[in-house]
Structure 1
Amino acid sequence: MKSAGGGMGVKQAREILRLSPFHTPAELRLAFRDAAKRAHPDRSGGDAERFRQVVEAFHLLQGLAEARAQAKDSIIQPPAPIRPAREEAPTLAISPATAFAGGSAEHVLADGRRLRLTLPAGLRTGDQVRAGEVQLTVAIRGDGDLLVRGDDLWLTVPVEPRLLAEGGRITVETPLGRRVVWITKKAGARGLVRLPGQGLPARGRRREGHLFLRLTPQTRTTASAARTLLRRFAAAWAA
């Protein structure tokens, strides 16, 4: 979908800000701040044209969200029936690795009881799981550089600056195991690679997700952080 003037389209705007089609307003603001910091001309590695695209992408997506909100508010809805308030189910926080592969989890209730659960693969935020008579609402929490957005996994991958500029092959530890990924010059400039069908597995009515690799220039610090993340992910998956 492109703008009326033939300029930036919605899909391109999402790619520039590294957003999924199901992003929230809060995720849009966070993605804009991150992208603006990386592209700002006053920073090392920044670029004025890239910064202009980041700002344009943000205004396009923000305007689209505001237009949708106004259209929704303009529709006259009948008053909702009054229902008795229900006690909200306790929240079970899990990592992206557990959401992807399933596994064991523990939860301590407000009364001190400790629950041990065996979770299926492919859980999403908002899903319900039961442990005996207790029902819990799943909430997936980001784990370092690994995040879940809708059905998709987002993994931040440090890459040598030379490969980002010239293209080439990299080896990435993904939830499905080690993958060799080809980075084109275009992908390196965008800082984004999509691996179709390698996100959260299909479950119920939810489709199979994709894996998005967010490419960042590698430094000694980011390389160390990446190794730490991989060790944590492997430990969580094996638990």
Structure 2
Amino acid sequence: MAEDLYEILGVSRRATDEEIRSAFRKLAKANHPDVNPGNTAAAERFKKITAANDILSDPQKRRQYDAGEIDAKGDPRRTYWSHAGAGARRGPQAARGAAGTFEDFSFSDIFSDVFGGSGGGGRRDGYGFAARGQDLRYSLEVDFLEAVLGAKKRVTLPDGGVLDLTVPEGVTDGQVLRLKGKGTLGTFGSDAGDALIEIKVRPHAEYRREGDDIILELPITIDEAVLGGRVEVPTPTGRVQLTIPKGTSSGKTFRLKGKGVRTKSGTGDQLVTVKIVLPNDIDESLSYFFSEWRQKHGYDPGRK
């Protein structure tokens, strides 16, 4: 048994034109294929909702449906004559040829709050209207320095195709890059979907990132810690000189201004924490020196 068009839209047979229009808009928003990608049940509901509105929003078709002259598909139930306009013509042709009120309001109004005001334009596809293409999702691994400095990369697609993209400087792990129009094609000339590229940043052997700052642990010798000196420090953009003050303890952190990650909000710093590393072999002269030094200059490092 065919479904009742009024029940499909959830309105009574006495519903006004505005009530029918309002019910259709509400149901169309909830069941449009763009809102429910891959949901065949929603797509079928959208198809029925659109077909029901085609008839009930047209005063002449609605009268014919209420009178039992056409069925839920708009096909005639029996032969009848219509004398509207000049001359007589068959009812089914008259019903299909009548100007409907459905086109009197913009379909973009229905979806303005869902699709940013662009709407579907009123053209129809297999679900009832032209639909934007679906977005496609991919994952791309980049090195730590590529994420900091930016890079040109190529993504190989499952079908063998490729996408060339620019990884912007300062990109973070898990960030999604959007390539406009690189998804599936839309129907009936609608916009294509986008390609969404999720970035995975590989860890670095020396650097780690905290916000826009880059953290580095720098080994120094015992004599550099005691006597001070200048040492080279690696940064993402090249090596720089760092002055180690006399008597620097292990764990001391120095800040290299502007040597961190550059983003739209600004540029971070590089934080360098020094770590005193003893020689692999402690020779007799070093042992004797510290033995004598400890007897004369022993001190409390603050152990608890």
* TM-score of the pair, normalised by structure 1: 0.46
Q: Which has the higher contact order (CA 8 A, sep 6+)?
A: 1
When the two structures are superposed, what TM-score results if normalisation uses the length of structure 2?
A: 0.38
Structure with the higher fraction of residues in helix conformation: 1
